[in-house]
Copies of this chain bind each other. A is one copy, B any other.
Amino acid sequence: ENILESEPIVYRRIVVPQNPHKEFCTDSGLVVPSVSYELHKKLLAVAEKHGLTLERRLEMTGVCASQMALSLLGGPNRLNPKNVHQRPTVALLCGPHVKGAQGISCGRHLSNHDVHVILFLPNFVKMLESITNELNLFSKTQDLPDTPVDLVINCLDCHENAFLRDQPWYKAVVDWANQNRAPVLSIDPPMSEMELGIDAKWSLALGLPLPLGERAGRVYLCDIGIPQKVFQEVGINYHSPFGCKFVIPLHST
Protein backbone atom coordinates (compact mmCIF):
# COMPACT_ATOMS: atom_id res chain seq x y z
CA GLU A 1 0.00 0.00 0.00
CA ASN A 2 2.86 2.34 0.65
CA ILE A 3 4.52 1.87 -2.71
CA LEU A 4 3.90 5.09 -4.56
CA GLU A 5 4.43 5.23 -8.27
CA SER A 6 6.24 8.40 -9.11
CA GLU A 7 4.12 10.45 -11.43
CA PRO A 8 5.72 12.96 -13.79
CA ILE A 9 5.66 16.47 -12.35
CA VAL A 10 3.38 18.89 -14.17
CA TYR A 11 5.10 22.27 -14.25
CA ARG A 12 2.44 24.15 -16.17
CA ARG A 13 -0.46 24.13 -13.73
CA ILE A 14 -1.82 27.61 -14.34
CA VAL A 15 -3.35 28.35 -17.72
CA VAL A 16 -4.69 31.81 -18.52
CA PRO A 17 -7.17 32.63 -21.31
CA GLN A 18 -4.96 35.05 -23.22
CA ASN A 19 -1.48 34.19 -24.37
CA PRO A 20 0.60 35.61 -21.51
CA HIS A 21 2.81 38.60 -22.20
CA LYS A 22 5.43 37.24 -19.87
CA GLU A 23 5.95 34.09 -17.84
CA PHE A 24 7.66 33.58 -14.50
CA CYS A 25 8.67 30.43 -12.66
CA THR A 26 8.90 29.50 -9.00
CA ASP A 27 11.92 28.07 -7.15
CA SER A 28 10.63 24.57 -7.87
CA GLY A 29 10.12 25.30 -11.56
CA LEU A 30 6.34 25.77 -11.66
CA VAL A 31 5.31 28.17 -14.42
CA VAL A 32 3.36 31.27 -13.35
CA PRO A 33 1.99 33.20 -16.34
CA SER A 34 1.35 36.93 -16.10
CA VAL A 35 -2.11 38.37 -16.63
CA SER A 36 -3.19 41.69 -18.07
CA TYR A 37 -4.27 44.50 -15.78
CA GLU A 38 -7.86 44.06 -17.02
CA LEU A 39 -7.95 40.35 -16.18
CA HIS A 40 -6.40 41.00 -12.77
CA LYS A 41 -9.05 43.58 -12.06
CA LYS A 42 -11.80 41.19 -13.13
CA LEU A 43 -10.34 38.49 -10.86
CA LEU A 44 -10.58 40.81 -7.85
CA ALA A 45 -14.11 41.89 -8.80
CA VAL A 46 -15.30 38.26 -8.99
CA ALA A 47 -13.54 37.48 -5.69
CA GLU A 48 -15.39 40.41 -4.14
CA LYS A 49 -18.69 39.07 -5.47
CA HIS A 50 -18.00 35.75 -3.72
CA GLY A 51 -17.38 37.51 -0.42
CA LEU A 52 -13.63 38.13 -0.46
CA THR A 53 -14.28 41.74 0.44
CA LEU A 54 -11.85 44.62 0.11
CA GLU A 55 -11.46 44.62 3.91
CA ARG A 56 -10.40 40.97 3.93
CA ARG A 57 -7.99 41.53 1.04
CA LEU A 58 -6.51 44.60 2.77
CA GLU A 59 -5.94 42.57 5.94
CA MET A 60 -4.46 39.59 4.09
CA THR A 61 -2.22 41.74 1.89
CA GLY A 62 -1.14 43.73 4.95
CA VAL A 63 -0.15 40.58 6.86
CA CYS A 64 1.71 38.96 3.96
CA ALA A 65 3.47 42.15 2.82
CA SER A 66 4.56 42.83 6.39
CA GLN A 67 5.89 39.24 6.70
CA MET A 68 7.95 39.86 3.58
CA ALA A 69 9.17 43.27 4.83
CA LEU A 70 10.09 41.81 8.25
CA SER A 71 12.22 39.21 6.57
CA LEU A 72 13.84 41.85 4.30
CA LEU A 73 14.66 43.85 7.44
CA GLY A 74 16.65 40.94 8.83
CA GLY A 75 13.99 38.72 10.41
CA PRO A 76 14.82 37.13 13.76
CA ASN A 77 18.39 38.49 13.74
CA ARG A 78 17.17 42.05 13.72
CA LEU A 79 13.91 41.76 15.63
CA ASN A 80 14.72 40.13 18.94
CA PRO A 81 14.60 41.34 22.55
CA LYS A 82 18.37 41.92 22.60
CA ASN A 83 18.03 44.41 19.78
CA VAL A 84 15.42 46.84 21.12
CA HIS A 85 17.84 49.74 20.75
CA GLN A 86 18.14 49.03 17.01
CA ARG A 87 14.53 49.23 15.89
CA PRO A 88 14.40 49.29 12.10
CA THR A 89 12.81 52.30 10.41
CA VAL A 90 10.54 52.02 7.39
CA ALA A 91 9.28 54.90 5.27
CA LEU A 92 5.85 54.01 3.90
CA LEU A 93 4.80 56.04 0.88
CA CYS A 94 1.07 55.81 0.17
CA GLY A 95 -1.10 57.36 -2.51
CA PRO A 96 -4.76 58.26 -1.90
CA HIS A 97 -6.20 55.01 -3.34
CA VAL A 98 -6.80 51.35 -2.49
CA LYS A 99 -3.12 50.54 -3.02
CA GLY A 100 -2.34 53.18 -0.44
CA ALA A 101 -4.77 51.52 1.96
CA GLN A 102 -2.91 48.21 1.40
CA GLY A 103 0.26 49.98 2.39
CA ILE A 104 -1.25 51.38 5.58
CA SER A 105 -2.47 47.90 6.55
CA CYS A 106 1.08 46.62 6.03
CA GLY A 107 2.39 49.52 8.12
CA ARG A 108 0.08 48.71 11.02
CA HIS A 109 1.34 45.12 11.15
CA LEU A 110 4.96 46.30 10.93
CA SER A 111 4.36 48.80 13.71
CA ASN A 112 2.77 46.04 15.84
CA HIS A 113 6.04 44.16 15.37
CA ASP A 114 8.21 46.95 16.76
CA VAL A 115 9.21 48.50 13.45
CA HIS A 116 9.31 52.30 13.44
CA VAL A 117 6.99 53.22 10.56
CA ILE A 118 6.94 56.72 9.06
CA LEU A 119 3.78 57.02 6.99
CA PHE A 120 3.58 59.51 4.15
CA LEU A 121 0.10 60.19 2.76
CA PRO A 122 -0.81 63.32 0.77
CA ASN A 123 -3.39 65.59 2.32
CA PHE A 124 -6.76 65.36 0.60
CA VAL A 125 -9.92 66.90 1.92
CA LYS A 126 -12.04 63.88 1.10
CA MET A 127 -10.33 60.54 1.48
CA LEU A 128 -11.41 57.13 0.27
CA GLU A 129 -13.29 55.30 3.02
CA SER A 130 -10.87 52.38 3.01
CA ILE A 131 -8.02 54.81 3.65
CA THR A 132 -9.73 56.50 6.60
CA ASN A 133 -10.59 53.08 8.08
CA GLU A 134 -6.97 52.00 7.85
CA LEU A 135 -5.80 55.30 9.30
CA ASN A 136 -8.17 54.93 12.27
CA LEU A 137 -6.59 51.59 13.01
CA PHE A 138 -3.06 52.77 12.49
CA SER A 139 -1.95 56.26 13.42
CA LYS A 140 -1.03 59.66 12.20
CA THR A 141 1.11 60.47 9.22
CA GLN A 142 4.53 62.07 9.62
CA ASP A 143 7.02 64.16 7.68
CA LEU A 144 9.57 62.14 5.77
CA PRO A 145 12.90 62.11 7.63
CA ASP A 146 16.23 63.58 6.55
CA THR A 147 17.99 60.62 8.14
CA PRO A 148 18.47 57.23 6.48
CA VAL A 149 15.79 54.57 6.78
CA ASP A 150 16.18 50.79 6.49
CA LEU A 151 13.48 50.21 3.90
CA VAL A 152 11.11 52.24 1.74
CA ILE A 153 7.75 50.66 0.96
CA ASN A 154 6.19 52.18 -2.14
CA CYS A 155 2.40 52.23 -2.54
CA LEU A 156 2.22 55.53 -4.42
CA ASP A 157 1.32 54.27 -7.85
CA CYS A 158 -1.89 52.85 -9.14
CA HIS A 159 -3.02 52.05 -12.68
CA GLU A 160 -5.97 54.32 -12.68
CA ASN A 161 -4.62 57.43 -11.04
CA ALA A 162 -1.79 58.30 -13.40
CA PHE A 163 -2.68 61.98 -13.06
CA LEU A 164 -1.38 61.89 -9.46
CA ARG A 165 2.12 61.78 -10.89
CA ASP A 166 1.83 65.40 -12.00
CA GLN A 167 1.08 66.66 -8.53
CA PRO A 168 3.80 68.46 -6.54
CA TRP A 169 3.57 66.14 -3.49
CA TYR A 170 4.12 63.13 -5.76
CA LYS A 171 7.21 64.60 -7.34
CA ALA A 172 8.58 65.65 -3.94
CA VAL A 173 8.14 62.14 -2.54
CA VAL A 174 9.80 60.56 -5.57
CA ASP A 175 12.73 62.91 -5.13
CA TRP A 176 12.92 62.07 -1.43
CA ALA A 177 12.92 58.32 -2.17
CA ASN A 178 15.58 58.64 -4.83
CA GLN A 179 17.80 60.67 -2.49
CA ASN A 180 17.31 58.38 0.48
CA ARG A 181 19.38 55.40 -0.52
CA ALA A 182 17.33 52.76 1.26
CA PRO A 183 16.17 49.76 -0.83
CA VAL A 184 12.58 49.95 -2.08
CA LEU A 185 9.83 47.34 -1.86
CA SER A 186 6.90 48.15 -4.17
CA ILE A 187 3.57 46.59 -3.30
CA ASP A 188 1.38 45.75 -6.30
CA PRO A 189 3.17 48.15 -8.68
CA PRO A 190 1.67 49.12 -12.05
CA MET A 191 3.41 47.70 -15.10
CA SER A 192 4.11 50.70 -17.27
CA GLU A 193 7.83 51.17 -17.59
CA MET A 194 8.12 54.84 -18.40
CA GLU A 195 5.97 56.24 -15.68
CA LEU A 196 7.41 54.67 -12.57
CA GLY A 197 9.08 57.32 -10.50
CA ILE A 198 10.86 55.04 -8.05
CA ASP A 199 12.94 52.00 -8.98
CA ALA A 200 12.19 49.01 -6.78
CA LYS A 201 14.61 46.40 -5.51
CA TRP A 202 11.70 44.05 -4.88
CA SER A 203 8.06 44.05 -5.96
CA LEU A 204 5.19 42.12 -4.45
CA ALA A 205 2.51 41.01 -6.94
CA LEU A 206 -0.89 39.93 -5.65
CA GLY A 207 -2.56 36.67 -6.69
CA LEU A 208 -1.07 36.50 -10.19
CA PRO A 209 1.66 38.81 -11.53
CA LEU A 210 1.25 41.51 -14.15
CA PRO A 211 3.97 41.41 -16.86
CA LEU A 212 6.28 43.53 -14.70
CA GLY A 213 9.47 44.86 -16.23
CA GLU A 214 13.05 45.44 -15.09
CA ARG A 215 12.24 48.45 -12.94
CA ALA A 216 10.07 46.31 -10.67
CA GLY A 217 13.22 44.54 -9.42
CA ARG A 218 12.91 41.02 -8.08
CA VAL A 219 9.29 39.92 -8.26
CA TYR A 220 7.57 38.12 -5.38
CA LEU A 221 4.04 36.72 -5.48
CA CYS A 222 1.63 36.98 -2.56
CA ASP A 223 -1.26 34.58 -1.97
CA ILE A 224 -4.29 36.77 -1.33
CA GLY A 225 -6.62 33.86 -0.59
CA ILE A 226 -8.61 33.73 -3.83
CA PRO A 227 -10.53 30.43 -3.97
CA GLN A 228 -10.14 28.24 -7.06
CA LYS A 229 -13.74 28.74 -8.19
CA VAL A 230 -13.03 32.47 -8.60
CA PHE A 231 -10.10 31.74 -10.93
CA GLN A 232 -12.34 29.35 -12.86
CA GLU A 233 -15.05 31.96 -13.26
CA VAL A 234 -12.66 34.32 -15.07
CA GLY A 235 -11.35 31.52 -17.29
CA ILE A 236 -8.11 30.80 -15.45
CA ASN A 237 -7.21 27.17 -14.85
CA TYR A 238 -5.47 27.59 -11.52
CA HIS A 239 -3.48 25.33 -9.28
CA SER A 240 -1.66 26.99 -6.37
CA PRO A 241 2.08 27.54 -6.92
CA PHE A 242 2.56 28.49 -3.24
CA GLY A 243 3.22 25.14 -1.55
CA CYS A 244 3.20 25.89 2.18
CA LYS A 245 4.21 29.56 1.73
CA PHE A 246 2.14 32.70 1.32
CA VAL A 247 4.84 34.76 -0.39
CA ILE A 248 7.18 33.17 -2.97
CA PRO A 249 9.93 34.53 -5.24
CA LEU A 250 9.30 34.46 -9.00
CA HIS A 251 11.99 34.27 -11.66
CA SER A 252 11.87 35.49 -15.25
CA THR A 253 11.95 32.66 -17.80
A residues sitting closer than 8 Å to B (CB atoms) are: 4-7, 9-11, 28-30, 50-53, 55-56, 58-60, 62-64, 67, 70-71, 73, 75-76, 78-82, 84-86, 108-109, 111-114, 133, 136-139, 223, 225-228, 239-240, 242-246
Q: What is the CB-to-nearest-CB distance from A9 to chain B, in angstroms, rounded to a whole number? A: 5
Identify 12 new A-B residue pairs, CB closer than 8 A, beyond the known A11-B81, A67-B246, A138-B227.
Answer: A9-B84, A10-B84, A51-B133, A51-B136, A56-B56, A60-B60, A78-B244, A80-B243, A108-B227, A111-B227, A112-B240, A114-B243
Given A63-B63, A81-B11, A240-B113, A86 and B50 touching (CB < 8 A)? no
- Give the copy number: 2
Q: When the two chains form their complex, are residues B227 and A52 in contact, meaning their CB atoms are under 8 A apart?
A: no
Q: When the two chains form their complex, are residues B137 and A79 in contact, meaning their CB atoms are under 8 A apart?
A: no
Give A52's nearest chain B residue, CB to CB.
B137
Give A56's nearest chain B residue, CB to CB.
B59
In the assembled complex, the Cα of A62 lies from the Cα of B198 at a distance in Å of: 34
Q: When the two chains form their complex, are residues B85 and A4 in contact, meaning their CB atoms are under 8 A apart?
A: yes
In the assembled complex, the Cα of A85 lies from the Cα of B55 at a distance in Å of: 35
| A227 in complex: contacting residue of B55, B112, B242, B243, CB < 8 Å | B112
In the assembled complex, the Cα of A165 lies from the Cα of B223 at a distance in Å of: 36
Chain A interface helix/strand/loop/mixed: loop
Q: When the two chains form their complex, are residues A71 and B244 in contact, meaning their CB atoms are under 8 A apart?
A: yes
Give A57's nearest chain B residue, CB to CB.
B59
Given A51-B133, A81-B28, A227-B138, A244 and B75 touching (CB < 8 A)? yes
Residue with the highest number of chain B CB atoms closer than 10 Å, among A6, A52, A246: A246
Q: When the two chains form their complex, are residues A244 and B51 in contact, meaning their CB atoms are under 8 A apart?
A: no
In the assembled complex, the Cα of A230 lies from the Cα of B30 at a distance in Å of: 43
In the assembled complex, the Cα of A245 lies from the Cα of B82 at a distance in Å of: 16
Q: When the two chains form their complex, are residues B228 and A79 in contact, meaning their CB atoms are under 8 A apart?
A: no
In the assembled complex, the Cα of A61 lies from the Cα of B6 at a distance in Å of: 36
* A67 cross-chain contacts in B, Cβ below 8 A: 246
In the assembled complex, the Cα of A5 lies from the Cα of B52 at a distance in Å of: 48
Q: When the two chains form their complex, are residues B63 and A109 in contact, meaning their CB atoms are under 8 A apart?
A: no
* A109 cross-chain contacts in B, Cβ below 8 A: 223, 225
* A5 cross-chain contacts in B, Cβ below 8 A: 85
Q: What is the CB-to-nearest-CB distance from A46 to chain B, in angstroms, rounded to a whole number? A: 12
Q: What is the CB-to-nearest-CB distance from A165 to chain B, in angstroms, rounded to a whole number? A: 30
Q: When the two chains form their complex, are residues B63 and A114 in contact, meaning their CB atoms are under 8 A apart?
A: no
